[in-house]
Chains A and B, each alone.
Chain A
Amino acid sequence: MRYKRLRIANYRGVDSSEIECDSRGLTLVQGPNEVGKTSLGEAISILFEYPDSSKHSAVVAIRPVHRDAGPEIELEAESGPYAFTYTKRFHKKPETKLTVTAPKPENHTGREAHDRAKEILTETLDVNLWTALTIQQGDAIDQPDLAKQQSLSAALDKAAGGIPTDQAEEGVFEKVTDEYGRFYTAKGQEKAELKQAREQQEKADAKVAQIEGALHSLDQDTDSAARLQTELKQLTKQEAELTKQLKEQETVLEEIATLESRVSEATLKLESATTSLELAQKNQKERQDLVEAVNDAKKQHAELLESSKESSATLERAEKEFKTAETAFNEADGKRKDADRIADLRRADFDYYNNLLHLQQLGERKERIDTARKNAAVAEETILNNKVNKQALETIEQGERELLTVTAKLETGSPSVTLRGLAPCDIRIDDDEAAIESEEVRTLAVPDRLRISIPERVDIEVTAGSSTDQLTRQVADAREGLDAACRAAGVSNPDSARKAYEARQEASRKIEEKERIEQENLRDLTYDDLADKVVRLNETVPEYLADRTSEPAIAADLGAARTAWEQADLVKQDCHVEWETARQSLDTARGVRDKFSKKHSEVQMELRRLEKNLQQQQSHLDNARNAASDDSFEAAVKAAEQSVTDEGETVRTAEAQLKEKNPDQVKALAETAKSSLSSKQRRREAANTELTEVQTRLKIHGEEGLHEQLHAAKTAVESATANNRSLSRNAAAAKLLYDIMRQERDKARQAYVAPLKERIERLGRLVFDESFQVEIGDDLRIVSRTNDNITVPFNDLSGGTKEQLSLIFRLACSMIVAEEGGMPLIMDDALGYSDPDRLQLMGAVLAKAAKECQIVIFTCYPDRYANIGDAAIVSL
């Protein structure tokens, strides 16, 4: 199809607008908004789509604004062999006019014109593709779905060098797909119809099985009924036979019962006779026992009487011996008591002497302690008054040594006098007395002045002179120090100090000695205890003698007292031994006497009892003999023995008769027959019940028409099976056909892809680089783009690139289709997303494409298309 001229009037906001198109090239329709560019693009679709009387919203929408006139559309075009002018006015004075000039003139008006125009359109081009290839504002990025466009397919076929596709084949494929869709889902799953057919068959099979089961049960019941009836007949027969047997056995049983009764009666009589015999024997025995008892009692009594006499004599002897022992014991007892008293007295005497000695010793110990305590008190007084302790003495002796030292120095540095004894002689040096032995040499220093006197003979005074003054003063100081120390100690000079110190030491020793003496004499006592003891002993010891009996006299001293005590103790021990012997003899005699006494008493008691017993037995026997004589019992026993013999014979005879009848066997047989009969009766009742049940079931189910039901069910199975088989077969056929046809169709479709891809890439390389490639899917859409060897899915590309690729895609389609059937491409303001560089390149693309197909561009941005080459420019 080629557009030559398009006019619209009274169309939306457009009064009138008309464009002439370059029928084989590029037409750029430019103008501002609202001059009708979009309307022109849209008008062609409306022109062909809707009749002039249409009230469709799309038609209503194109009514002119503020004008009472019908919108008009007029198109002059060529399509296939046709050249025509097609005019339509809607709403107001609607009118349709079609003037065809080639291949032969035609004139149509009204509905006829509309239908003829549509016919021409459908005949010469693919309306869908034509619409799809018309890019509208705002949806430019979309790629049209071209998979179903037959014009494209036809063109692609030609381009691919294949056999042209037939529209009929597409139609067949759709039908094949529909047929496949009857049985399978899009994912190839079986649809409900197939499943249901299978289930239907299964259900029908189940129904048949169920009815066959019921029939089988009926057959079983029928067999059971026959079996039960046969059994019942047999049971009735068996019952009759058993009843007959039982009757015969009962007759025999009655005879047996009579015999048994006879045996029983005879046995009872025998038992009675036996009992009588036993009674007679018992009576006889009792009499014999009674006579024996009297005899025994007499014998026992006599024996015991003899024994009693012996025991009486023995008792008498024992009593005598007891008395003798008693006298001996009393004597020994008196002796023992005297010996005890004497021994106690001698012991007391010894204690007296012992206490006396103790009193003396304690008094001495106390005396020693008292003396020591007195000495210690004196010593303590001494220590209290004597100040020369060890330290004071050392101080004094220190002062003395110092004095001697300075004195010696004075003497060394001062003149000295040497004395040499010629014979022992007392001398006085200064005021001190001294002595000198023969040959003794003594040098004396003269610190200042020294006076040596030989008493009563000569007095020599030596004076040292003034050079010894200092030493002299030191000596004086030392002397002063010594004196001070002596004064402090309360002594006159060191020698007295030393004596005082000795005295003090002596006093200390006295005090220490007191402790020792106390310890030695008190031992484990306190002083007060000791004193108390002394006081008590002083009181008690003298009293003993005052209180003591005069006889025997007390021993002379402690030693004698001890001896007397020991002797008395020996006597006492002897007496005790004697006393113990006497006591034991007495106890023995008493025991013997008591034993015989008890025995004698017992004999006496037994004797009395036997006497009484004898009397009773005798009395009893006498009474019995009065009642019946001993001979009568013997006669009774003999009579009873005869009776037992007679009755025993009767029993044996009866038992022999009974045995002949074999009662155990007869009874067992009768019992068996009875239980068998009972068992048969029970079984007959059970069989009857079972038969009734079976017959009831047969009656209930037998008339349900199971036969016809089974046939109906089997028919249903056949029908379901046939239906299932037929459906499965149809489904399999549809699937096979669909699978193969789809494969073949896909193969053919793939053949279309190559020319489309070739055109897209040829145009695309003007915009992108030389490595530009696209992948085309089965649905003839761009799947991905490869540029710079990088492949990006179409949907991930930028808006601008998508728009450019979509346009190139459409141009490629139009280029292919144009050669074959003619497909103008109308673009309404495309390339809004492209940058200036790309716009320039896209211009080259459009220019190249326009050489092969008609392109009409509507735009209000003419600058976008500044580089589209040779184009017819139409300004609105």
Chain B
Amino acid sequence: MANADVPGADCLVTGVFMVRFLHTADWQLGMTRHFFSEGVQERYAQARFDAIRRIGQIARDEDCAFVLVCGDAFESNQVDRQTVARTCEALKDVPVPVYILPGNHDPLNAASVYSSSTFADQKPDHVHIIDDFSPREIVPGLELVGAPWKSKKPVVNPLEELLNELARSDGSTRIVMGHGIVDAFTPDKEAPAVISASALENAIQEGKAAFIALGDRHSVTRIGESGRVWYSGTPESTDFREDKSGYALVVELDGEQIVAKEVSVGQWGFVERKQIELNHAEDVERFNDWLQSVENKERTVLRLRLAGGLTLSLHAELQEKLLAASDLFAGFDIRFDDLVMIPEDADFADLGFSGFADKTVKRLREHIEAGGAEADEARDALMLLLRLTEGAA
């Protein structure tokens, strides 16, 4: 059956239904990151609103019939009014209907952000909240059903409940929206609200759903072998642990065929290096080169763990380079726990100390060699002396 009003949905002459839609989740609107300065935080927040608009653009470009947001559109039910208002404003730019499923971050409880006056007042008409299990025929022949979270800590994942209730979908194509972690990705498989991957596969097998769109995992991920169960991931990265965040999924259902295409959306990167060995001047230089080479610095968050041992002079040089770099990156989290300072004679040779200052240096070095709590203080004291001396010279 032809459906000229709905882009991306069509009924072919053969009578087989074809639909294309955009699957996204975990917008985490209102998310903040403690390692951001105020200005960076604002840019980061704005990036998430921009992501909505880009999704809208992709939906248009990819001729999608609608957009599914599978939970955690908001970081919390207690987000600021401004966040809600800016979300609604961004949603206006999405040209197709948007179906939003409440997730564990924004459950549909009494404090739900979707019940807030700001959202109620400013929500565009083409935005719909999936607030119960009832099926929606969003285009003739296409049934959409979702399992919204009603509380933060349900005993059973709503999706499993929904799938248990659902009968085989005969005569229409059914898309199911769900939210929560699948047992394959969590060590605590018995935890409440964990979704059984096999249950999802069974639902597909039993004809209860043509596609199950999932949210919660921030990296785009296919579940099972059917190719009909997917996490879209978050459109904009939120953490270092994400393997493949910053994507949306354009899904095309065409009879028995299904094509899920990963489309890049995100602008921000979280880079973590857990062990950077620094022992010599060359190491410091190489590390600095790498720092310089990182692209898109203003939207990149670094977390680096430095290790090794440097002389005071090299350490001071490293600090200088880090200080210069820190201004360029959006976030700059450097751990020095495994990097030790090793004062050497050479560190002080140029200073020409011969009197009490020289003796001071010797005593501080003795402290460092003795180790213990005072060693760190002595290192700092030596660094300070070095800094003051350079200033004095």
Could you tell me if A733 and B360 are in contact, using CB atoms closer than 8 angstroms?
A: no
Q: Interface 1/0s, chain A 676-719, versus B by CB < 8 A?
A: 00000000000000000011001100111111110110110010
Of A166, A169, A702, A747, the contact of B78 (CB 8 Å cutoff): A702
Residue B391 at the chain A interface, CB threshold 8 Å: yes
Q: A715 to B32: give the CA distance in the assembly, Å.
A: 9
Q: A825 to B388: give the CA distance in the assembly, Å.
A: 37
Chain A's nearest CB lies how many Å from the CB of B361? 9
Could you tell me if B357 and A741 are in contact, using CB atoms closer than 8 angstroms?
A: yes
Could you tell me if B355 and A169 are in contact, using CB atoms closer than 8 angstroms?
A: yes
Question: Which of the segments B213-221, B253-261, B375-383 contacts the partner chain?
Answer: B375-383
**Which residues 206-226 of A sit at the B interface, judged by CB distance below 8 A?**
215, 218-219, 221-226
Chain B's nearest CB lies how many Å from the CB of A812? 22
Residue A172 at the chain B interface, CB threshold 8 Å: yes
Chain A's nearest CB lies how many Å from the CB of B154? 11
A-B contact count (CB 8 A): 155
Could you tell me if A175 and B391 are in contact, using CB atoms closer than 8 angstroms?
A: yes
Residue A745 at the chain B interface, CB threshold 8 Å: yes
Of A222, A703, A715, the contact of B118 (CB 8 Å cutoff): A703
Q: Interface 1/0s, chain A 158-177, versus B by CB < 8 A?
A: 00000111101101110110
Of A163, A171, A218, A741, the contact of B111 (CB 8 Å cutoff): A218
Q: A165 to B359: give the CA distance in the assembly, Å.
A: 12
For residue B377, which residues in chain A have a CB less than 8 angstroms away from its CB?
729, 732-733, 736
- A169 and B357 in contact (CB under 8 A), knowing A226-B151, A705-B82, A705-B83? yes
For residue A283, which residues in chain B have a CB less than 8 angstroms away from its CB?
none
Give the one of B34, B354, B360, B364 with max A CB within 10 A. Answer: B360
Could you tell me if A748 and B356 are in contact, using CB atoms closer than 8 angstroms?
A: yes
- A744 and B79 in contact (CB under 8 A), knowing A175-B391, A708-B30, A736-B378? no
**Which residues 97-155 of B sit at the A interface, judged by CB distance below 8 A?**
109-111, 113, 116-118, 150-152
Chain A's nearest CB lies how many Å from the CB of B56? 24
**Which residues 494-544 of A sit at the B interface, judged by CB distance below 8 A?**
none
Of A168, A225, A708, the contact of B32 (CB 8 Å cutoff): A708
For residue B33, which residues in chain A have a CB less than 8 angstroms away from its CB?
711
Of A694, A705, A741, the contact of B79 (CB 8 Å cutoff): A705
Residue B240 at the chain A interface, CB threshold 8 Å: no
**Which residues 164-204 of A sit at the B interface, judged by CB distance below 8 A?**
164-166, 168-169, 171-173, 175-176, 179
Could you tell me if A740 and B364 are in contact, using CB atoms closer than 8 angstroms?
A: yes
Q: Interface 1/0s, chain A 716-750, versus B by CB < 8 A?
A: 00100000000001101110110011001101100
- A165 and B355 in contact (CB under 8 A), knowing A705-B80, A730-B380, A733-B377? yes
Q: A698 to B364: give the CA distance in the assembly, Å.
A: 59
Could you tell me if B81 and A169 are in contact, using CB atoms closer than 8 angstroms?
A: no
For residue A223, which residues in chain B have a CB less than 8 angstroms away from its CB?
151
Chain A's nearest CB lies how many Å from the CB of B384? 5
Could you tell me if B392 and A708 are in contact, using CB atoms closer than 8 angstroms?
A: no
Q: A168 to B353: give the CA distance in the assembly, Å.
A: 8
Residue B393 at the chain A interface, CB threshold 8 Å: yes
Could you tell me if A747 and B356 are in contact, using CB atoms closer than 8 angstroms?
A: yes
Could you tell me if B352 and A168 are in contact, using CB atoms closer than 8 angstroms?
A: yes
Residue B385 at the chain A interface, CB threshold 8 Å: yes
**Nearest B residue to A157, CB-CB:** B355
For residue B319, which residues in chain A have a CB less than 8 angstroms away from its CB?
none
Could you tell me if A733 and B116 are in contact, using CB atoms closer than 8 angstroms?
A: no
Could you tell me if B381 and A173 are in contact, using CB atoms closer than 8 angstroms?
A: no
**Which residues 244-297 of B sit at the A interface, judged by CB distance below 8 A?**
none
Q: A699 to B34: give the CA distance in the assembly, Å.
A: 27
Q: Interface 1/0s, chain B 289-321, versus A by CB < 8 A?
A: 000000000000000000000000000000000
Q: A21 to B381: give the CA distance in the assembly, Å.
A: 52
Could you tell me if B357 and A173 are in contact, using CB atoms closer than 8 angstroms?
A: yes
Interface residues on chain A, number (Cβ under 8 Å): 52
Residue B237 at the chain A interface, CB threshold 8 Å: no
Residue B75 at the chain A interface, CB threshold 8 Å: yes
Q: A734 to B364: give the CA distance in the assembly, Å.
A: 12
Could you tell me if A744 and B80 are in contact, using CB atoms closer than 8 angstroms?
A: no
For residue B326, which residues in chain A have a CB less than 8 angstroms away from its CB?
none
Q: A704 to B30: give the CA distance in the assembly, Å.
A: 13
Q: A169 to B353: give the CA distance in the assembly, Å.
A: 7
- A176 and B388 in contact (CB under 8 A), knowing A169-B355, A737-B381? yes
Chain A's nearest CB lies how many Å from the CB of B343? 13
Q: A707 to B74: give the CA distance in the assembly, Å.
A: 10
**Which residues 15-54 of B sit at the A interface, judged by CB distance below 8 A?**
30, 32-36, 41
Of B110, B117, B381, the contact of A703 (CB 8 Å cutoff): B117
Could you tell me if B78 and A168 are in contact, using CB atoms closer than 8 angstroms?
A: no
Could you tell me if B360 and A221 are in contact, using CB atoms closer than 8 angstroms?
A: no
Residue B77 at the chain A interface, CB threshold 8 Å: yes
Residue B363 at the chain A interface, CB threshold 8 Å: yes
Residue B76 at the chain A interface, CB threshold 8 Å: yes
Residue B186 at the chain A interface, CB threshold 8 Å: no
Could you tell me if B352 and A166 are in contact, using CB atoms closer than 8 angstroms?
A: yes
Could you tell me if A175 and B392 are in contact, using CB atoms closer than 8 angstroms?
A: yes
Of B36, B111, B116, B359, the contact of A222 (CB 8 Å cutoff): B111
Q: A219 to B109: give the CA distance in the assembly, Å.
A: 10
Could you tell me if A226 and B109 are in contact, using CB atoms closer than 8 angstroms?
A: yes
Could you tell me if B388 and A175 are in contact, using CB atoms closer than 8 angstroms?
A: yes
Could you tell me if B360 and A744 are in contact, using CB atoms closer than 8 angstroms?
A: yes
- A172 and B79 in contact (CB under 8 A), knowing A226-B110, A226-B151, A733-B377? no
Chain A's nearest CB lies how many Å from the CB of B334? 12
**Nearest B residue to A225, CB-CB:** B110
Q: A709 to B79: give the CA distance in the assembly, Å.
A: 9
For residue B202, which residues in chain A have a CB less than 8 angstroms away from its CB?
none
Q: A736 to B377: give the CA distance in the assembly, Å.
A: 7
Could you tell me if A707 and B388 are in contact, using CB atoms closer than 8 angstroms?
A: no
For residue B354, which residues in chain A have a CB less than 8 angstroms away from its CB?
163-164, 166, 169
**Nearest B residue to A741, CB-CB:** B360
Q: A226 to B152: give the CA distance in the assembly, Å.
A: 12
Q: A308 to B385: give the CA distance in the assembly, Å.
A: 155
Q: A733 to B384: give the CA distance in the assembly, Å.
A: 7
Could you tell me if A712 and B357 are in contact, using CB atoms closer than 8 angstroms?
A: no
Residue B164 at the chain A interface, CB threshold 8 Å: no
Could you tell me if B384 and A172 are in contact, using CB atoms closer than 8 angstroms?
A: no
Chain A's nearest CB lies how many Å from the CB of B101? 19
Could you tell me if B392 and A172 are in contact, using CB atoms closer than 8 angstroms?
A: yes
Of A164, A172, A707, the contact of B76 (CB 8 Å cutoff): A707
Give the one of A169, A706, A730 with max B CB within 10 A. Answer: A169
Of A168, A169, A718, A740, the contact of B381 (CB 8 Å cutoff): A740
Could you tell me if B378 and A744 are in contact, using CB atoms closer than 8 angstroms?
A: no
Of B36, B113, B356, B384, the contact of A169 (CB 8 Å cutoff): B356
Could you tell me if B116 and A702 are in contact, using CB atoms closer than 8 angstroms?
A: yes
Chain A's nearest CB lies how many Å from the CB of B40? 11
Could you tell me if A730 and B78 are in contact, using CB atoms closer than 8 angstroms?
A: no
**Nearest B residue to A694, CB-CB:** B110
Could you tell me if B384 and A730 are in contact, using CB atoms closer than 8 angstroms?
A: yes
Residue B389 at the chain A interface, CB threshold 8 Å: yes
**Which residues 323-365 of B sit at the A interface, judged by CB distance below 8 A?**
351-360, 363-364
For residue B382, which residues in chain A have a CB less than 8 angstroms away from its CB?
737
**Nearest B residue to A749, CB-CB:** B356
Q: A166 to B113: give the CA distance in the assembly, Å.
A: 70
Q: A117 to B109: give the CA distance in the assembly, Å.
A: 87
Give the one of B33, B75, B79, B117 with max A CB within 10 A. Answer: B79
Interface pairs A-B: 10 shortest CB-CB: A705-B80, A225-B110, A733-B380, A711-B32, A707-B76, A744-B356, A737-B381, A745-B356, A706-B78, A707-B78
Extra contacts besides A222-B109, A715-B41 (13): CB < 8 Å: A166-B352, A169-B354, A172-B385, A702-B77, A702-B78, A703-B118, A705-B78, A705-B82, A708-B30, A733-B381, A736-B378, A737-B382, A740-B360
13 A-B pairs whose Cβ atoms sit less than 8 Å apart in the complex: A164-B354, A168-B351, A175-B388, A222-B110, A225-B110, A698-B110, A702-B111, A704-B80, A708-B83, A711-B32, A711-B34, A714-B34, A740-B381
Contact residues of A with B, CB < 8 Å?
A: 163-166, 168-169, 171-173, 175-176, 179, 215, 218-219, 221-226, 229, 694-695, 698-699, 702-709, 711-712, 714-715, 718, 729-730, 732-734, 736-737, 740-741, 744-745, 747-748
